[in-house]
Structure 1
Amino acid sequence: MQKKYLSEIALELRKPVIVWILMVHIGTTLLETTSHNSVLHIVIASLGILCFMFLNWKVTWFIQRELWVYYVLQSAILLMSVYFMNQGYYLVMIVLYPIIIGQLLYAPYKKITIIISIAAIYIVCIAYMNYLSFVNLLFYISLFTLMNVLVGGIINLTLRQFYAKLRTQHFLKELEIAHHQVEELTVANERQRMARDLHDTLAQGLAGLIMQLEAIDAHLSSNNTKRAHEIVHLSMSGARHTLAEARSAIDDLRLHTALQVNFAESVEKEVDHFLSLTGIPIQSNIVTPIEVSQLIYEHSIHIIRECLTNIIKHAQAHHVELNISYDDHHLVMDIKDDGIGFDMRQIGSFSGHYGLIGMQERIRIVQGTLEITNRIPHGTSVHIEIPLR
């Protein structure tokens, strides 16, 4: 047993032991006074018991240094006190020696050493009472043994309570560590969520706005003001849409609330926005459940938007297909284009391009599966399955 634990056990027992010794001291003093023992002998015996009590108070000091010195000193002090007593030595032997035996029970020694030490104490007690009749000797030894059993039981109970407290402290420490880990994971998840929301609202909206401004510039250069004005109106509508999404994301972060919306209608809006922005023909077949959870709705819309945005920015496609269906257990989404495809090994390798990484994170959150089939230079197919919960 570590010295730190021994000290803590000794501190747990110190106050009741001191009270116990103080009561014995009062009892022996009364017995010696009534037995007409000399004042000098009473004072010496009394000082011996007070020294025994003081060393019990300082037992932690011995634990940190040499504990065996403590046991030797305590035994010698009790022997000295018993030597100067007429009647009180019975009380000292029967009540105070069990304290030493009890303290030996949690000492960091081998069992054989503890047994020999207890046997030595028994021999000393028997030697002091050897002039008694056999019946009286047997009575006092039985009483002494009973007292040792009582003290041993108290020590055992204290040890059980101490170890239970240690286990509780250990569990609380593990719980605190787990709590800190959960907090760290929560912060990390919130950072990832904010990054996804920024990418899927402001970043995508601004990217679309930049492309529209470039188209406006090209039309104005060729004096096609009519088409330029049309794109300006689309840009204004797109900017308002992006602003509304950004505000919705902020409200969701602050209030954790969401409006009840129709999933199919939201997908149709994404399709219409894609068509008006690019003019690329998109064939859509949308069959969705009447209701989907807010979690599935939010992440599915962002995934579809990311796929369509990637087609705009990278695919150079001439035709797009979007199919959404469901069965009893899954929502299934397929997005296909006939563009130039891309090298999947480049996912996440370029700073600032986090769309596919965000898609993978969203798929993981809804416990779905994502399969990207790339046929350079014949286009890309994205297949997504999300469990309906």
Structure 2
Amino acid sequence: MARNEGGLKLNDKGFKAEHIDELLASRLPVLIWVSIVYIATVIMQFLIDPLIFQSAVFTGLFIIHGALHWNSFRISRKYFWIYILVQEILIYLCAILMREAYQPVLIGLLPVLIAQSLSISFRIKRILFVSLASLIVFFDAALTVGEREELHLLFPFFTLMLIVVMAYAVLFFRQVQERLRIQSFLHDLQEAHKKVEELTLSNERQRMARDLHDTLAQGVAGITMQLEAVDAHMTQGNLDRAQSIIKLSMQQARRTLADARKAIDNLRLKSSSEIDFKEAIQDEVQHFKDSTGIPVFTDIQLTKRSSRLIMEHSLHIIKESLTNIARHAQANAVRLRLFNEKERLFIQVIDDGIGFNIDDIGKDVGHYGLLGIQERARLIGGEVSVTSSSEGTTITVDVPFVEGEMT
């Protein structure tokens, strides 16, 4: 039972959040419409009978009315009736202040308030009560400042405006709900994608670890057995047989070494929970220097430990960047910078090579590695910027810094 109650609470929270987002989305259209009504009312009044004092009071009341609309998401749900009552009073006062231009106030504002009550509360009784209150305000204000004959023309306009505004409100909030639903689906899809990525990386590491274990265990076991046989033959004085077995052992050792190196290459990135990020970066840099002879100047300033997923992809990005330099840049020196700032992780790889045309990324056969860097950055929510000239190339990767567990 407690679990069901918790589920209901979660659903209610989700509903409240969606409700607030709908009201936020409607603020700007409502404010624009209210501004149009204000301008039309002031112009109409000034053309017939300019009233300075009444217009100033009317402006102040209208500002309060607009401010309540703008902040409706904060107060309308908790204080629904107070909000409606205050807005009805403001509309009534605005109408009777502008005696020669009350029509835009009543026709323009009351239907909007009724439509807004529909978005705030889906209870039919509430909407009917607000509609009834708005009709009372409409007729009372119209009869107070206008003539009864005007109602025959004014009320059809009011009804038509109410129908138009209600239809617009229904369509608008349906669109908002669909947009919010799509955003929720996209968020869930991104979360699921991250989980799948983490599971894929974990499964791949386990698979390669098994391959490494099987390769070394079987190979070393075979060599051990062969060496034991050599020892036995040498004890018996059978040197020819011992030498032949030694040759077989050497071949077995070479095969085992080759298989182990292949597995180690796949496992160069150990589990991020078992390695130090800086140490792993230094290993990649040292491997690059040993292979190319190009000096690398590193500047690593990390104040936090990143998540496993960020480390995995960051190390791959660094490795691919260094590989591209070794293959294409003809560089004499490389600079590698890593630092975190304002919840962001920045990776910068700079070389003094010959550069290339960045417009050819993805087109030139030699630069597909940059697409791989961009793809990995995208998977962890980051961005890649590349600048290149005849004086060198700079690759900058900016990703959200997700803090991980300390070991």
TM-score w.r.t. structure 2 length?
0.57
Residue 231 (structure 1) shift: 1.4
Identity value in percent:
38
Residue 194 (structure 1) shift: 0.9
Which structure 1 segments of 5+ residues have no match?
255-389
Letter of the 1:219 partner, please give it.
H
Letter of the 2:74 partner, please give it.
W
Asked if the contact 1:220/1:228 (under 8 Å) is kept, the reply is yes
Residue 204 (structure 1) shift: 0.8
What is the aligned counterpart of 1:8 among 21, 38, 43? 21
Structure 1 residues 56 and 213, CA gap change in structure 2 (3 angstroms): same
Letter of the 2:92 partner, please give it.
L
Q: Rg bigger for which structure?
A: 1
Residue 5 (structure 1) shift: 2.5
2:103 alignment partner in structure 1: 90
Residues 154-196 of structure 1: CA deviation (Å, up to 9, x unaligned): 2222212211112212221221122123212211321232123
Residue 71 (structure 1) shift: 1.2
What is the aligned counterpart of 1:62 among 71, 75, 79? 75
Structure 1 CA distance, aligned partners of 2:63 and 2:261? 78
1:36 alignment partner in structure 2: 49
TM-score w.r.t. structure 1 length?
0.59
What is the aligned counterpart of 1:157 among 157, 161, 171? 171
What is the aligned counterpart of 2:209 among 173, 183, 195? 195
1:169 alignment partner in structure 2: 183
Residue 103 (structure 1) shift: 0.6
Structure 1 CA distance, aligned partners of 2:228 and 2:48? 116
1:124 alignment partner in structure 2: 137
Structure 1 CA distance, aligned partners of 2:140 and 2:49? 24
Which structure 2 segments of 5+ residues have no match?
1-11, 269-407
1:297 alignment partner in structure 2: none
Residue 35 (structure 1) shift: 2.9
Structure 2 CA distance, aligned partners of 1:31 and 1:194? 80
Residue 51 (structure 1) shift: 1.7
Asked if the contact 2:234/2:242 (under 8 Å) is kept, the reply is yes
Residues 305-354 of structure 1: CA deviation (Å, up to 9, x unaligned): xxxxxxxxxxxxxxxxxxxxxxxxxxxxxxxxxxxxxxxxxxxxxxxxxx
Structure 2 CA distance, aligned partners of 1:205 and 1:181? 36
2:30 alignment partner in structure 1: 17
Letter of the 2:69 partner, please give it.
N
1:237 alignment partner in structure 2: 251
Structure 1 residues 133 and 48, CA gap change in structure 2 (3 angstroms): same
Letter of the 2:156 partner, please give it.
S
1:305 alignment partner in structure 2: none
Alignment size in residue pairs: 253
1:144 alignment partner in structure 2: 158
What is the aligned counterpart of 2:93 among 53, 63, 80? 80
Residue 63 of structure 2 corresponds to residue 50 of structure 1: yes
Structure 1 CA distance, aligned partners of 2:259 and 2:19? 64
1:26 alignment partner in structure 2: 39
1:318 alignment partner in structure 2: none
What is the aligned counterpart of 1:204 among 191, 213, 218? 218
Query: RMSD of aligned C-alpha atoms?
Result: 2.4
Letter of the 1:211 partner, please give it.
M
Asked if the contact 2:42/2:101 (under 8 Å) is kept, the reply is yes
Structure 2 CA distance, aligned partners of 1:42 and 1:245? 89
Asked if the contact 2:96/2:141 (under 8 Å) is kept, the reply is no
2:113 alignment partner in structure 1: 100
Residue 144 (structure 1) shift: 0.7
What is the aligned counterpart of 1:217 among 231, 250, 271? 231
Residue 13 (structure 1) shift: 1.6
Structure 2 CA distance, aligned partners of 1:121 and 1:197? 77
Residue 228 (structure 1) shift: 1.7
Letter of the 1:140 partner, please give it.
L
Residues 48-76 of structure 1: CA deviation (Å, up to 9, x unaligned): 22221122222233146423222111111
Asked if the contact 1:24/1:92 (under 8 Å) is kept, the reply is yes
Letter of the 1:155 partner, please give it.
A
Structure 1 CA distance, aligned partners of 2:68 and 2:267? 64
1:264-343 aligned within 5 A: none
